[in-house]
Amino acid sequence: MDKPVCLIDTESDGKLCVQQSALQILQQIQQPVVVVAVVGLYRTGKSYLMNRLAGQQTGFALGSTIESKTKGIWMWCVDHPTKAGTTLVLLDTEGLGDVDKGDSKHDTKIFSLAVLLSSTLVLNSRGTIDNKAIEELQYVTELTEYIKIKSPDEVVDDSEFVKFFPSFIWAVRDFTLQLNINGQDATEDEYLEFALKLKLGTSSQVNNYNLPRECIRKYFPSRKCFTFPFPTHPDNVSYLETLDPAEISKQFLEVTDRFCQFIFDQSQVKNLKDGYTVTGRVLGHLAKTYVDTISSGAVPCLENAVIAMSMIENEAALQEGLEVYQSGMEKLKNSFPLELNEITSEHQCFTLMATQTFMKRSFRDHDGKYLTSLEKESMEDFMPELVVTISSARTWRTL
């Protein structure tokens, strides 16, 4: 892809919808995907950072006015710069907190989708990680209302969420403070952990202070922080994407490079529960399933999505397996007439190849339902061949 496309859009009635053209792109990607999504308040430089991850100066559209720019969720699939055979999928999301939006739940839906679809979630904010920045993250505290692990009625321990959630990076932009805690130099990660420290006490004030911090700590046990200095002279900041790199602060470029390198080295391929690797194609199914669920007013349920996914993938695996079997047997016809034992042994060989093809793609066929169908359908296919063979063998003998 040479430029990003819209993956999830908002229809005129405010409902989210998946763009067919983006799904078609994902459908073609059979490789595992590392999915990096960026979320955060609007006008905080998210799209700019995503372009840097794509190794480009431009791509995701940047806004130079105070109005929020990115709408819905945009996607850019690029070759992974360091992991051969892997695609890096960048998801740039609509800025949160824009008061012009009618639907107060819209932001939480975008936030939840970013969490659901990514393997690394970048939270982007400006200034410092102060109480205000953390309170603005109320979306984290609402996640369990917007994402269910099992069917809505089943109570699940909160810690279950961790198994499905992405790793977490906090990108602090325009950071001007000294990294110093209680007189000691601190790392960026120590700064983040310091900001996420819980207060002792049980007053409602303390509880309110602790709640978002507890949620971040609980749902995102793998955390990393990058503090970016101001990128350039304030007069130039609106033209960052067209600016000569010499005009951009060296420290800013250093952090940006470190941030990108960390993501390239450490961001994992997206996995579903049970360790099933997500390919571009599966990511497309996931996006559609989650968005359709949210648009219908229901809460996306991870377990149901995995079940829906396994049905689609197993059906496709069954067809792929059958094709292998059928094309093998079709070629065999050119060698007719053959002895019965020869054709039986070829049948066994193609059945094995079909099973291997099926197994490569199948997923969670725990009760062997789809594998049994494959065996049954190949057998049904085989029977007419057998009849032909037997009758040709008879004709052979008569001759």
Ligand X SMILES: Nc1nc2c(ncn2[C@@H]2O[C@H](COP(=O)(O)OP(=O)(O)OP(=O)(O)O)[C@@H](O)[C@H]2O)c(=O)[nH]1
> Which residues contact ligand X by CB under 6 A?
42-48, 62-64, 68-70, 95, 173-174, 228, 231, 237-238, 240
Nearest CB to Mg ion, comparing residues 47 and 119? 47
For binding to Mg ion (CB under 5 A), which residues are involved? 46-47, 69-70
CA quadruple 336, 337, 340, 341: dihedral positive or negative? Answer: negative
Q: Counting every residue, how long is the chain?
A: 399
Nearest CB to ligand X, comparing residues 95 and 284? 95
Contact 198, 160 (CB under 8 A): no
Compute the distance between CA of residue 134 and CA of residue 40 in angstroms, rounded to an integer.
Answer: 11
CA angle at 167 for the pair 161 and 309, rounded to the nearest 5°: 55
Least distance from C-beta 64 to ligand X, angstroms?
Answer: 4
Nearest CB to ligand X, comparing residues 232 and 344? 232
Beta-carbon contacts of residue 391 (< 8 Å; ≥ 6 apart): none
Beta-bridge partner residues of 40: 124
Please choose which of ligand X, Mg ion, none residue 109 contacts, taking the beta carbon within 5 to 8 angstroms, the exact cut-off set by kind: none
Least distance from C-beta 248 to ligand X, angstroms?
Answer: 10
Least distance from C-beta 256 to ligand X, angstroms?
Answer: 9
Please choose which of Mg ion, ligand X, none residue 174 contacts, taking the beta carbon within 5 to 8 angstroms, the exact cut-off set by kind: ligand X
Nearest CB to ligand X, comparing residues 230 and 262? 230
Q: What are phi and psi of 158, to 5 degrees?
A: -55, -30
Q: At what angle do helices 280-295 and 302-332 cross, to 10 degrees?
A: 140
Nearest CB to ligand X, comparing residues 59 and 280? 59
Residue 161 per-residue DSSP state: G
Nearest CB to ligand X, comparing residues 138 and 344? 138
Please choose which of ligand X, Mg ion, none residue 45 contacts, taking the beta carbon within 5 to 8 angstroms, the exact cut-off set by kind: ligand X
Please choose which of ligand X, Mg ion, none residue 44 contacts, taking the beta carbon within 5 to 8 angstroms, the exact cut-off set by kind: ligand X
Least distance from C-beta 211 to ligand X, angstroms?
Answer: 25
Least distance from C-beta 94 to ligand X, angstroms?
Answer: 6
Contact 49, 93 (CB under 8 A): no
Compute the distance between CA of residue 264 and CA of residue 208 in angstroms, rounded to an integer.
Answer: 36
Contact 213, 141 (CB under 8 A): no
Shortest Cβ contact with ligand X: which residue?
95
